[in-house]
Chains A and B, each alone.
Chain A
Amino acid sequence: MGKWTRRAFIGAGVAAGGALVVGIAVRPGNPIDRLSPLVAKGEGEKLINAWVKIDADNIVTAIVPHVEMGQGIFTSLAQMLADELDADWSKVRILEAPADAKYSSSHIGREFLAPNLEVPEILEPTVSGSFLSLATAMTLQITGGSFSIRGTGQRAMRTAGAAAREMLIAAAAKEWNVPASELRAENSMILHDKSSKSATFASFATAAAEQSLPAKPKLKSPKDYKLMGKAIARTDIPEKSNGSAIFGIDADLPGMKYAAVKAAPVVGATVEAMDATSAKTMPGVLQILNMGDFVAVVADGYWQAEQALATIQTTYSKTEGDGLDQEALFTRYATMLDEAGDTDGDVETEEGDVGEAFASAATKVEAEYKVPFLAHATMEPMNCTAWVRDGKCDVWSGTQSPLMARKTAAETTGIAIDNVAYHNAYLGGGFGRRSEMDVIIMSTRIAMATQYPVKMIWSREEDTMQDHYRPSATSRFEGGLDKDGKAVSWSNIHTHLFDPQEAPTVPYYNIANHKIRKVDVPTHLRFGPWRSVDHSQHGYFIESFVDEMAHAAGKDGYAFRRELLAGSPRHLKVLDTAAKMSGWDNPLPEGHGRGIAFVPSFGTIVAEVAEVDMTGKKPKVTKVYVAADPGFAVNPDGFAAQMESSVAYGLTAALYGEISVKDGAVQQSNFHDYPILRINEMPDVVVEIINGDHKRLGGAGEPGLPPLAPAVTNAIFAATGNRVRELPLSKMNFA
């Protein structure tokens, strides 16, 4: 095995049956001393994980350290690996990596920095966000932050594929006694054109593991891509179409029972007393548990547990959240913003002198925007199955962070992590919700009490009322225009900042003086990352205010943004593409309007144009044009699907999404009062992808969302002259 980087290098070994495995290896003496079961023992060096395996029957298995929650990542990551390997796609299989620290994001970042890639990117909080920064990613094996392709795909999957390919070629060169330069790989075969020799990868698998490795596996340039950039069908389509796909909620074990749960309606309260007189007599009931912060009923069936739970009378402790209503919360935000005045609060970015520039501006624009809390409303209800017995713990669920789930189960049960197994399945929607560990903790606590396996399923009501919410927030702006209508100052103060840190900033807009501040306002509801996280509100705030400035300047929203992006050709191209796709200058019928918005996030630049029909009782979004530059779309069909789904998810929030608080508790409980976009409300979505820089890949899962709401509200303004300064739109009276 060849040495590669300082502490870690590409390693290879031979697994049972003569399979070649390639992954990260460590030299003797490295503190990471636990072996992968796949490892071949040799020279004291240890393979600590594996990204690819080539079996004796020439099947290539891509081992993917991310979870599949509908975003199609299994296929795209396998495409990246298989392309560099020159594998036959029909012989590629995909396996989700186990919940093991050896696959954690920190290994990708810290141990596996491929020298020929842009290494510092992973350390930039502006790229990966603090949510995924190394400090927090150290112990995580997380799928989120639109990170999988630009992180794992670029840094691990491609390099492993390229390394395996070079090793196979080296082995073939030795066996055939020809220079390696005369050999090539194609369709999982090694070919020697001069002698017309060919053989399968598998025939060199054992010998390949013995080859010394080049310092840097050479990655392909885009002209040589065979699989990357192709709209390859997702491998999970058949099983998700015929119903055989296994999700977390499908876990089934011998002797498994079901738990229904109800938590205190006000977060932070505890169950003071529980009257289970009726529940004890109901069919199927096995146990009734007061867990302090929630009540659980364990029964033979879920319905029985749910029915019995509904009869339990509970009283709760008093908390500081009691008596708090949504209006009071917004008043609290306003007071905090008032108190910060023109100078206080935490400065996030500052350039020039906004005070001076605003004071001397020819035109002054001011506005305040508000957004509500949002729930995730995943299709698959929150659930987790746990079995704790004899010093062992097994947990089955679908989570965005399998390793964290395993650690959480270990900490919750007090059982050593080596005796805790976490089994991940497909996620029926994540959107950030399944990066939280609450269901893992609750179900293992229940299972500790029962000692037999229990599947805990949340009702839709619990899901809606006990989520970790996108925060409600208020944002205030002051903008200055000179006499020519050019933006000269941009001042913003807003409540809350979670992640990504750059979400409230506008470095791509050429405005000489800008200052952005925040004030932290405590709320008792739990924060959770919600698809695109802080960009979800700041995209709306920023792009609404840009539109207001354009209007004040007497300019068209598209033309005004063009001026602001004049120095950034890559950004400008995305904006121009969206405008062109929409036929921006073509007139629309009376009562219809067109709006544009532009938000780069998670490494991908996106502009959207929405068309809205305001002639009915409520806004109808008829068309959404999406232009997006992710650097390079590895799977264009998958990328376009993420843009379309961001439109659906974002439009749901813009039209209806509102979680509000009354007397400390969430008021909404199910789809009747927390509606999801219906199919007849779905606009036509047209996506155009721009491959602007194949070396700097962006994400796909989130960046389509932030421009959607402001594109729609700007279109409403164009159609009606009504400026929407508070979401959701269902609150507005358009009559």
Chain B
Amino acid sequence: MRAIVRASAPILVIALAACGTDPAPGPTEQIVVREPGEATVPNVEAEDSLITIGKAAFNTCIACHGIEKGGANKIGPNLYGIIGQVAGAAEGFSYSEALASSGITWTKEELDSYIANPAAKVPGTTMMAGAITDAERREAIIAYLDSVSAN
């Protein structure tokens, strides 16, 4: 999954080193060849199922979340069986007070609105990633989570 290299002309930014000590100096020269764009989702074939797409998309989540049954919590809680659970249920994980006391039950709809923008849905959550803007991608991830838990 490689983003397309665009033929746009590089933008040259010259910034002066910041005065004082705080924060650290930025670049003395910043050449922006292109912006990352949005083309980071795999270009999935039409016949691929939602779950297959979701499994691939979930690769970006596994730095923080395990999915196997009985698996350890990592930076984020293990997500096995998440669909239908009450928020804050993973054993041994230190949830933010905000999430633990949110009273949310993770229906697919609740999960969808949460991963669309975690900080907006549950202000004070420690989940820093997420904010998946692509609705189809969210649907796929949730389908994958559901499929794993069902097994």
Q: Which of A51-59, A212-220, A576-584 participates in binding chain B?
A: A51-59
B69 within 8 A of A: no
Question: What is the minimal beta-carbon distance from B62 to any residue of chain A, in angstroms?
Answer: 7
Q: Which of A135-143, A179-187, A280-288, A690-698 participates in binding chain B?
A: A280-288
Measured CA separation A414–B10 after assembly (Å): 29
Chain B residues in 8 Å Cβ range of A445: 24-27
Measured CA separation A412–B30 after assembly (Å): 18
Measured CA separation A254–B134 after assembly (Å): 12
Selected from A53, A285, A289, the residue in CB contact (under 8 A) with B27 is A289
Chain B residues in 8 Å Cβ range of A287: 30-33
B151 within 8 A of A: no
The reply to whether B31 and A257 form a contact with Cβ atoms under 8 Å apart is no
Chain A residues in 8 Å Cβ range of B27: 289-292, 445, 449
Measured CA separation A256–B61 after assembly (Å): 12
Question: What is the minimal beta-carbon distance from B101 to any residue of chain A, in angstroms?
Answer: 8
B75 within 8 A of A: yes
The reply to whether A300 and B3 form a contact with Cβ atoms under 8 Å apart is yes
Residues 234 to 257 of chain A near chain B (Cβ within 8 Å): 246, 250-257
Chain B residues in 8 Å Cβ range of A95: 73, 92, 94
Chain B residues in 8 Å Cβ range of A387: 128
Residues 1 to 20 of chain B near chain A (Cβ within 8 Å): 2-3, 5, 10, 17
Chain A residues in 8 Å Cβ range of B94: 37-38, 95, 98
B38's nearest neighbour on chain A, judged by CB, is: A255
Chain A residues in 8 Å Cβ range of B92: 53, 55, 59, 61, 93, 95
Measured CA separation A286–B40 after assembly (Å): 14
Chain A residues in 8 Å Cβ range of B26: 445, 448-449
A394 within 8 A of B: yes
A509 within 8 A of B: no
A452 within 8 A of B: yes
Measured CA separation A387–B74 after assembly (Å): 19
A287's nearest neighbour on chain B, judged by CB, is: B32
Chain A residues in 8 Å Cβ range of B75: 396, 423
The reply to whether B36 and A257 form a contact with Cβ atoms under 8 Å apart is yes
Selected from A276, A396, A415, the residue in CB contact (under 8 A) with B31 is A276
Most chain A CB neighbours (cut-off 10 Å) among B29, B72, B96: B29
Residues 65-108 of chain B, each 1 if its beta carbon lies under 8 Å from chain A, else 0 = 00000001111000000000000100110111100100000000
Measured CA separation A421–B94 after assembly (Å): 14
Chain B residues in 8 Å Cβ range of A59: 91-92
Residues 598-642 of chain A, each 1 if its beta carbon lies under 8 Å from chain B, else 0 = 000000000000000000000000000000000000000000000
Selected from B23, B100, B128, the residue in CB contact (under 8 A) with A413 is B23
Contact A289-B29, Cβ < 8 Å, known A59-B92, A280-B10: yes
Question: What is the minimal beta-carbon distance from A426 to any residue of chain B, in angstroms?
Answer: 11
Question: What is the minimal beta-carbon distance from B104 to any residue of chain A, in angstroms?
Answer: 14
Measured CA separation A25–B92 after assembly (Å): 21
Chain B residues in 8 Å Cβ range of A283: 5
The reply to whether A55 and B32 form a contact with Cβ atoms under 8 Å apart is no
Question: What is the minimal beta-carbon distance from A81 to any residue of chain B, in angstroms?
Answer: 15
The reply to whether A411 and B22 form a contact with Cβ atoms under 8 Å apart is yes
Question: What is the minimal beta-carbon distance from B45 to any residue of chain A, in angstroms?
Answer: 21
The reply to whether B35 and A286 form a contact with Cβ atoms under 8 Å apart is yes
Question: What is the minimal beta-carbon distance from A103 to any residue of chain B, in angstroms?
Answer: 12
B43 within 8 A of A: no
A359 within 8 A of B: no
Chain A residues in 8 Å Cβ range of B129: 253-254
Question: What is the minimal beta-carbon distance from B21 to any residue of chain A, in angstroms?
Answer: 9
Measured CA separation A256–B60 after assembly (Å): 9
Question: What is the minimal beta-carbon distance from A689 to any residue of chain B, in angstroms?
Answer: 31
A16 within 8 A of B: yes
Measured CA separation A394–B5 after assembly (Å): 28
Chain B residues in 8 Å Cβ range of A61: 92
Residues 255-297 of chain A, each 1 if its beta carbon lies under 8 Å from chain B, else 0 = 1110000000000000100101000100111111111100000
By size class, the interface of chain A is: 35 or more
Question: What is the minimal beta-carbon distance from A275 to any residue of chain B, in angstroms?
Answer: 11
The reply to whether A290 and B23 form a contact with Cβ atoms under 8 Å apart is no
Chain B residues in 8 Å Cβ range of A716: none
Contact A286-B36, Cβ < 8 Å, known A412-B23, A449-B26: yes
Question: What is the minimal beta-carbon distance from A272 to any residue of chain B, in angstroms?
Answer: 10
Chain A residues in 8 Å Cβ range of B147: none
The reply to whether A449 and B30 form a contact with Cβ atoms under 8 Å apart is yes
Chain A residues in 8 Å Cβ range of B30: 287-290, 449
Chain B residues in 8 Å Cβ range of A371: none
The reply to whether B31 and A251 form a contact with Cβ atoms under 8 Å apart is no
Chain B residues in 8 Å Cβ range of A251: 63
B14's nearest neighbour on chain A, judged by CB, is: A290
Measured CA separation A257–B75 after assembly (Å): 20
Contact A291-B91, Cβ < 8 Å, known A246-B63, A280-B10: no
Measured CA separation A401–B59 after assembly (Å): 28
B51 within 8 A of A: no
Residues 385-421 of chain A, each 1 if its beta carbon lies under 8 Å from chain B, else 0 = 0010000101010000000000000011111000001
Contact A392-B128, Cβ < 8 Å, known A37-B96, A55-B91, A93-B92: yes
Most chain A CB neighbours (cut-off 10 Å) among B10, B22, B31, B129: B31
Most chain A CB neighbours (cut-off 10 Å) among B24, B25, B129: B24
Chain A residues in 8 Å Cβ range of B74: 246
Most chain B CB neighbours (cut-off 10 Å) among A255, A283, A421: A255
Measured CA separation A45–B64 after assembly (Å): 33
B29's nearest neighbour on chain A, judged by CB, is: A290
A446's nearest neighbour on chain B, judged by CB, is: B27
Question: What is the minimal beta-carbon distance from A281 to any residue of chain B, in angstroms?
Answer: 9
Chain A residues in 8 Å Cβ range of B28: 271, 290-292
Question: What is the minimal beta-carbon distance from B24 to any residue of chain A, in angstroms?
Answer: 4
B132 within 8 A of A: yes
B126 within 8 A of A: yes
Question: What is the minimal beta-carbon distance from B61 to any residue of chain A, in angstroms?
Answer: 8
The reply to whether B91 and A292 form a contact with Cβ atoms under 8 Å apart is no
Measured CA separation A414–B34 after assembly (Å): 26
Residues 652-670 of chain A, each 1 if its beta carbon lies under 8 Å from chain B, else 0 = 0000000000000000000
Most chain A CB neighbours (cut-off 10 Å) among B30, B62, B63: B63
For the complex with contacts A288-B33, A412-B24, 12 further pairs of A-B residues with Cβ separation under 8 Å are A53-B92, A59-B91, A95-B92, A252-B59, A254-B129, A254-B132, A256-B60, A287-B32, A411-B23, A413-B24, A421-B126, A449-B27
Which 6 A-B pairs give the minimum distances between C-beta atoms?
A: A414-B23, A290-B29, A288-B31, A252-B63, A254-B60, A412-B24
List 30 A–B pairs whose Cβ atoms lie within 8 Å, in order of A's numbering: A37-B100, A53-B92, A57-B91, A61-B92, A93-B72, A250-B63, A252-B63, A253-B60, A254-B40, A254-B129, A274-B29, A280-B10, A284-B3, A285-B33, A286-B36, A288-B29, A289-B27, A289-B29, A291-B28, A292-B17, A292-B25, A300-B2, A300-B36, A396-B75, A411-B24, A412-B23, A423-B75, A444-B24, A448-B23, A452-B36
